[in-house]
């Protein structure tokens, strides 16, 4: 339901579905005999004028029929502003007509609220106006909020539906953006708190979408309207300050404008030069991000130069750099490397008269059309050279949304990824073969790896930036050459989520970890349940199917796999599940002989990923006596038998599991030691050398701030087992400076 729309006030029984004004001899413009309210006459006249500039008479007739249909459906409804409700869909359609959209889009714009606010169905729209228009209306319509637990969840699901509909047909989002524009223009009728909420939503979602689609004019207007309603006092103060500055800077701006208009023709360049004032929200954002006062924002005026073709853009740039001194680092060539939304221009900042910074944009006519209208240029202009590339980029982004939702768990997470993806790409890096990747500012080599291919991201373990080996978390800069190094056994780490910036990388990492956790948890759950069933004289593999069916029916579980995963994650206790599965099943009947009923322990091979974890508090290593504890959401956590942390869990005895180390367990495990050593020169180097001689690796070193003759050092090492640790301790005791050495466990207890 659009902002400000009241509930349905009247049925549409008086509507005659057979009236289709398409057989008239003259173009059937929308006129007074189609029941428009008197105060809509001017809007209808303007709309008619726009339609007549590019639509055929038959198409205008179809749009007129849609207006009749919509006006009858909404008859009796009023907006909170007091205007007839039909004024809203008419305004939306007029915006689309300004973009010269086709009749299907205009019909959908006029009908975009009838499915929500009336009893009209998609089938009725399809029968009357065709399947294309009906699909567009359905894509714009919101979902029924009753199905969701909260307003936020409903909004997230609505955005998900809308964006996926947009991936099928970009006209869906164009209608939705025009709808949001008119709602923002008439937002004054709302309560202040609702105005702020809608304005913030516009800044976070709709304005960035408009920017991503290259709709620069719409993007700026949405930002200005949202700023006015989200921060009315700041908007008012800043507006007055800008008005005051106009008089003070008018002479400077006029002088620069006159000089540029004189210089370019003298250089043989025919150009259209226009001055422009920065939008209030742009000034506000710059003040906030750079912590500036208004008086410190000198470049509130800029200039735009439009020339005939691409080579002339660079000629104009050279002429302007000869006229005024350019500011180092403030030149950007978006012609050679366009923005992700297809935007192309040369940007430069010059030092004008009296030391005033001057921002200048240089572009040709085609670039200007795309910069202002973005993806809507497809309908406005028929030159396919640049528009074809823009359409390809838009299609690629829209398809990425489809892939994103396929690997996303819920609507809120999907919306989070889309928000990340909507902000402009500002870092451009190169592959070893010279391919350019546009990524969000702050991106890392992991973002590059996933931009290349999901398999590259899932198996990357190192990188080279500008031929130097660097950490994967290194923040990339413009122009970096990034080479990704992969390995078959490498896998994504949860720590990557802390530094990746692109929505694609974040989504793929979460999907991998979720899938891996489910698989590992299911495997652990199967072992735990088999162990619990064995104590009851039952074998999991030979359990009757009816036992599982009865358990799923009574517990609400979706599948056996989900039950096993819940057991592995500690969400269900294996003993309780086993007892419920055993109900009505004869002992020994499921394949376990009486002599096989033993208390066998779960064998531990090490840290089995997400399903089995070694307690960080006591750092168990092979050879230590151990016990397992099932923790909700964590799976099986292994501790040493004397760990102080599990002493606090005696009341949860039912969650404890007998575990043992698998014979021949290999790998490296973390262990900590504490050394008290004499405070002499070279002691740390000597200790490190002895540790290296015992085939151990030092992970971390820290020390107390002792000022006496001795100091305390803490080493975190990698060891293979208890015997390996013992050899290290023996070797370190032989260092003359060592006073005392112990294994350091329970550091947080």
Cβ density class 396-435: b for 16+ within 10 Å, e for less: ebbebbeebbebbeebbbbbbbbebbbeebebbbbeeeee
Rounded mean pLDDT for each run of 10 residues along the chain, 749 residues in total: 34 33 36 48 85 89 91 87 88 90 91 86 90 88 48 63 68 88 90 90 84 83 93 90 73 83 91 84 85 75 89 94 88 84 86 81 88 62 51 61 59 60 68 83 91 91 90 87 89 85 84 75 80 78 82 80 78 78 66 49 64 80 86 74 74 68 82 90 90 89 78 91 92 91 71
Q: What's the rounded Cα separation, in Å, for the pair 511 and 398?
A: 20
Within the chain, all domains assigned CATH 3.10.20.30 are found at 391-509
What pairing do the DSSP bridges indicate for beta strands 669-678 and 656-657?
Answer: unpaired
Q: What is the pLDDT of residue 33?
A: 44
- CB-count burial class (<10 Å; 0-12, 13-18, 19+) for 693: exposed
DSSP string, 654-693: GGEE-EEEPTT--S-EEEEEEEEEE--TTHHHHHHHHHHH
Task: Write down the pLDDT at residue 729.
Answer: 93
Sign of the four-CA dihedral 44, 45, 49, 52: positive
Kind of pairing, strands 460-465 and 482-486? antiparallel
pLDDT for res 5 = 35
Look-up: residue for tokens 């995963």? 565
The catalytic residues are: 116-117
Superfamily of domain 32-229: Hypothetical protein af1432 (1.10.3210.10)
CATH 1.10.3210.10 occupies which residues in the chain? 32-229
pLDDT at position 3 is 38
The segment(s) of the chain belonging to CATH 3.30.460.10 are 233-381
Instruction: For residue 333, give the H/E element and its range.
Output: strand 332-333
| Residue with the two structure tokens 């019909």 | 107
391-509 CATH? 3.10.20.30
Fold of 669-743: Alpha-Beta Plaits (3.30.70)
Instruction: Give kind and range of the element (H or E) at residue 518.
Output: helix 503-535
Domain 233-381 has CATH 3.30.460.10: yes
């Amino acid at each position: 339901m659009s902002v400000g729309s009241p509930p349905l006030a009247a049925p549409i029984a008086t509507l005659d579905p057979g009236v289709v004004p398409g057989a008239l001899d003259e173009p059937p413009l929308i006129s007074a005999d189609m029941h428009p309210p008197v105060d809509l006459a001017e809007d209808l006249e303007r709309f008619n004028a726009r339609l007549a500039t590019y639509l055929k008479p038959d198409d205008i007739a179809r749009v007129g029929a849609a207006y009749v249909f919509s006006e009858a459906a909404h008859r009796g409804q009023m907006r909170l502003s007091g205007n007839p409700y039909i004024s809203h869909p008419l305004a939306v359609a007029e915006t689309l007509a300004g973009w010269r959209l086709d009749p299907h889009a205009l019909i959908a714009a006029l009908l975009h609220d009838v499915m929500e606010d009336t009893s009209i169905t998609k089938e009725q729209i399809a029968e009357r106006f065709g399947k294309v228009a009906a699909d567009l209306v359905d894509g714009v319509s919101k979902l029924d909020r009753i199905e969701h637990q909260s307003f936020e969840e409903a909004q997230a699901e609505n955005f998900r539906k809308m964006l996926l509909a947009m991936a099928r047909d970009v006209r869906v989002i164009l209608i939705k953006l025009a709808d949001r524009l008119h709602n923002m223009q008439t937002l004054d009728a709302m309560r202040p708190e609702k105005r702020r909420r809608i304005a913030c939503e516009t800044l976070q979602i709709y304005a960035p979408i408009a920017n991503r689609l290259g709709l620069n004019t719409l993007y700026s207007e949405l930002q200005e309207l949202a700023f006015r309603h989200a921060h009315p006092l700041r908007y008012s103060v800043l507006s007055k300050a800008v008005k005051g500055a106009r008089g003070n800077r008018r002479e400077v701006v006029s002088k620069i404008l006159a000089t540029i208009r004189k210089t370019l023709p003298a250089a043989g360049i025919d150009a259209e030069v226009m001055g422009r004032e920065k939008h209030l929200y742009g000034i506000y954002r710059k003040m906030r991000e750079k912590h500036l006062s208004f008086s410190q924002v000198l470049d509130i005026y800029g200039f735009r130069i439009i020339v005939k073709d691409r080579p002339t853009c660079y000629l104009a740039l050279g002429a302007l750099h000869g006229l005024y001194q350019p500011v180092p680092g403030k030149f950007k060539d978006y012609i050679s490397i366009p923005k992700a939304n297809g935007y192309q221009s040369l940007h430069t900042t010059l030092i004008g008269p009296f030391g005033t910074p001057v921002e200048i944009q240089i572009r040709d006519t085609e670039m200007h059309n795309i910069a202002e209208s973005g993806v809507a240029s497809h309908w406005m202009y028929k030159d396919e050279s640049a528009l074809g590339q823009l359409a390809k980029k838009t299609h690629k982004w829209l398809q990425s949304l489809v892939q994103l939702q396929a690997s996303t768990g819920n609507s809120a997470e999907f919306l989070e990824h889309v928000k990340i993806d909507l902000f402009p790409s500002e870092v451009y890096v190169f592959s070893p073969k010279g391919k350019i990747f546009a990524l969000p500012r702050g991106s890392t080599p992991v973002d590059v790896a996933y931009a290349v291919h999901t398999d590259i991201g899932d198996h990357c373990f190192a990188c080279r930036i500008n031929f130097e080996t660097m950490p994967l978390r290194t923040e990339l800069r413009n122009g970096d050459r990034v080479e990704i190094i992969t390995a078959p056994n490498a896998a994504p780490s949860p720590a990557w989520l802390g530094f990746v910036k692109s929505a694609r990388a974040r989504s793929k990492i979460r999907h991998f970890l979720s899938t891996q956790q489910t698989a590992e948890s299911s495997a652990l759950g199967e072992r735990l349940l088999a162990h619990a069933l064995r104590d009851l004289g039952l074998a999991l593999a030979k359990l009757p199917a009816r036992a599982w069916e009865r358990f799923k029916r009574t517990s609400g579980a979706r599948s056996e796999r989900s039950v096993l995963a819940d057991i592995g994650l500690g969400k269900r206790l294996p003993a309780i599940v086993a007892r419920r599965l055993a109900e009505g099943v004869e002992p020994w009947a499921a394949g376990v002989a009486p002599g096989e009923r033993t208390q066998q322990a779960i064998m531990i091979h090490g840290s089995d990923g997400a399903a089995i974890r070694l307690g960080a508090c006591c750092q168990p290593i092979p050879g230590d006596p151990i016990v397992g504890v099932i923790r909700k959401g964590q799976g099986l956590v292994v501790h040493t038998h004397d760990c102080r942390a599990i002493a606090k869990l005696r009341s949860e005895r039912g969650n404890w599991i007998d575990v043992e180390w698998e014979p021949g367990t290999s790998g490296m495990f973390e262990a900590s030691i504490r050394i008290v050593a004499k405070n002499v020169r070279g002691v740390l180097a000597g200790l490190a050398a002895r540790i290296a001689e015992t085939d151990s690796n030092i992970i971390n070193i820290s020390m107390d701030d002792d000022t006496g003759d001795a100091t305390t050092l803490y080493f975190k090492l990698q060891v293979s087992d208890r015997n390996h640790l013992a050899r290290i301790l023996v070797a370190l005791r032989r260092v003359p400076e060592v006073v005392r050495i112990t294994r350091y466990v329970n550091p947080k207890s």
